[in-house]
Every structure is written in structure tokens, then in C-alpha cells.
Amino acid sequence: MHWVPRAVITKYARYLDWEAHKLFYSWTTDPWFYDHGSDPWGGVKHWQYNKAVETLLEARCRQLKPGEVLDEKAAREFIGWVLGTDKPETSILETPGVKEALKNIRAYRRGFSQSVVAAYALKIQDPSLTREEIKVGVLALLNGKDSPKLSSKVLGAMRKVVQGGKPLLRYAAKWGLPAIGLVIATARGAQGSHNGHTGAVGISEEVLRDLAFAELAESIVFPCVVAGADGCGEIVGLGGFSEELREEYLKTYRWRRYGVIGD
């Protein structure tokens, strides 16, 4: 997936120098084990995400003087806005539609990242799953989407992912999203050093990356469990969980100084 959609890059190409153009095109995250297509994530459809990024880029380009273009530095700053590691200046935030655009961008970005983690976790539990089977399983796990393609094989892997809980998801995040983790960790380290009051100060890059992966894993709450036989999957809400599982998935964590997780 291109974090800055290709259609948006093409439409605003005249405002980008060559280095910015290359950076936008190279900034992608592709699931290793399934084809994401135009799947909705975080309650946001793919076309809504594309429109949101376009709204944000248009607001940035309006600040350019005649004949001026975005260089690589400006493009990196923009990607930080998309990833949520930085935020636009007030004048851009006050542009009509930008705040809603950022909300949709971040909801979709997080949901997509969660889908990559879930896909990796499913593949760990059953390496024989096909790309199509993993796609069906991820959509069921995260979006609660039922499908006649939910075979007993997919359902079995899904149950193992649910049983694996947060430790499995943290592991899957670390190995499924290494590049994203590095960017988030580096940005947080810089912010911590600058602000002087976050737990990021004095922590190594490796620890920061682990914290970023852990935070993403902790944000994943399965909206359902799926039970059924081949061709007849059944979506069961949280009420279908045992008391122990319900407590596990409704539990929230507080981030303490230096990233210690507590109850």
C-alpha cells in the first residue's frame, strides 16, 4: 500500500520535485501474506483514505509560493503527518476539511497496520494458509466480517490467534512491520529528546521500536470470535467469549514512564 496514494502523487506531481516524487512512491507497506486490495480498515474505506490524503496534500501545496515545489525534506515532513509521528502547523490544521482528513488517515493507517499484524499471526499459526484464506481470516478477526469462505482450517488458525493473545500479536508486530516500527521509534526518540518530559528520553532505538510494536499490539481488540463449519461461518459477539477471554480483550493498559505496562 502506498501511504501517499499513486493517484494523489500523479495529480499533484507538478508541486513535487524529483526527490519528493521518488520518496512518496517508495513509501509503501505491503502485507507479506495477503492482498489488501481496497479493504476498509478502522471504519474508513480505501477511497475515503485516498481523499483524506489528497485533502491534506492540497492544503500543504496551497502554502507554496508561485514556482515553488515540495522538496525531499517537505515530503518527509508530510509523510510524518500521514504516519502520525508529527502534526501539521496550525495554519494547515485550520484549513477546512483537514482535521477530518487526519482523523480518517490515522484510523485507516492504524487499522491497516493491525491487519498486517493479524495476517502475520495467522501465518505463524498455520503456515499452509493461502493468501486468500489469510485475507478472509483477517477481515473476520478485525472487521467482524463473516464469509462463506471461512473454512474450518481458517477458523482453527483464528482461534489460535485469539488464544495467543497480546504476546503473539507483539511478536507478529515486531516481525511483520519492521520498517514502520523504526520510523515511529526514531520519531518518538527525537520528540522525547526535544520535549524533555517523555519516557522516550534515554531509551535505546531498539527499546523504542519494541514499545511501538507493543502499543500497536495492545490496540488490537477482536470485535468477535468466529465459530462454524466449512462454508458456514458464524460471527459471535463479545458475549460469546468465556469470562476469562472477555476480561482479556476488554482490558486496557496504561503507559507509564519508560514504557512499563501495568494493569
Q: What is the pLDDT along the chain (263 residues), one digit of tens a residue?
A: 678 999 999 999 999 999 999 989 887 766 667 777 778 988 899 999 999 999 999 999 999 999 999 999 999 999 989 988 788 999 999 999 999 999 999 999 888 888 888 888 998 899 999 999 999 899 888 887 777 888 889 888 988 888 888 888 888 877 766 544 444 444 444 444 434 434 433 444 555 555 566 677 777 777 654 444 333 344 334 333 344 444 443 443 222 222 323 33
- The verdict on pTM exceeding 0.85 is no
pLDDT of the residue at 210: 59
Using CA atoms, how far residue 184 sits from 23, 65, 124, 171, in Å, is 17, 31, 24, 17
**Whole-number pLDDT of residue 214:** 67
State which amino acid sits at residue 101: A
CB count in 10 Å sphere of residue 145: 18
In angstroms, the CA 176 to CA 32 distance is 8
The radius of gyration computed from the CA coordinates of the chain, to the nearest angstrom, equals: 20
Could you tell me if 179 and 187 are in contact, meaning their C-beta atoms sit under 8 angstroms apart?
Answer: no
The whole-number pLDDT of residue 63 equals 94
Q: Which amino acid appears at position 130 of this protein? A: T
pLDDT of residue 237: 40
User: For residue 97, is it left (φ>0), alpha (ψ between -120 and 50) or beta?
Assistant: left
Burial (CB < 10 A; 0-12, 13-18, 19+), residue 135, is buried
DSSP lists the bridge partners of residue 226 as 235
* C-alpha–C-alpha distance, residues 252 and 160, integer Å: 21
Angle, vertex CA 105, rays to CA 101 and CA 110, nearest 5:
155
Query: β-pairing, 261-262 with 225-229?
Result: unpaired
Q: Which residues contact 133 (CB under 8 A, 6 or more apart)?
A: 149, 151, 153, 154
- The grid coordinates listed for 239 are 458475549
Report pLDDT for 212. 63
Signed CA dihedral, 179, 30, 168, 217: sign only: positive
